[in-house]
Amino acid sequence: MFFGAVALYVAAIFVLSHISGSFFQDFGLKIWDKLIHAVEYLPVGFLLTGWLANWKRPPRGRLFLIVVVFAMVLVLGALDETHQFFVPGRTASVGDLLADVVGGTLGAMIGLVVFNRWRS
């Protein structure tokens, strides 16, 4: 269940990333760019945590789970930023990638709390 949700959500992010940057600038979203990136990737971290926590043999330890999700969000964010580099009107930025990772890691931490309570 969680893998499908992760796949669909990440696919939606990549579809939105393919929209020209001028479309978003018309709405004045440039000011909130980093916050948007963090909020956009928060569910990615949450869903990845749910997916990993529900494996038959989930990763041992909370810190290890956070590190695994961190790495996965880093790769997904880097792929998204690389993709945006080739989209007219969009730019790739390390700052955006960092915001993605912060949001995803925060989502993973929230996921740990939620899924630990859910299992209890």
* Residues 9-30 pLDDT 10s: 999 999 988 887 655 555 555 5
- List, in order, residues 6 or more apart from 82 with CB less than 8 Å away: 92
What is the spatial distance between Cα 100 and Cα 38, in angstroms, rounded to a whole number?
Answer: 5
> What mean pLDDT value characterizes the chain?
86
Q: How many domains does the chain divide into?
A: 1
CB 53 within 8 A of CB 65: yes
For residue 55, the model assigns a pLDDT of 74
For residue 87, the enclosing domain spans 2-119
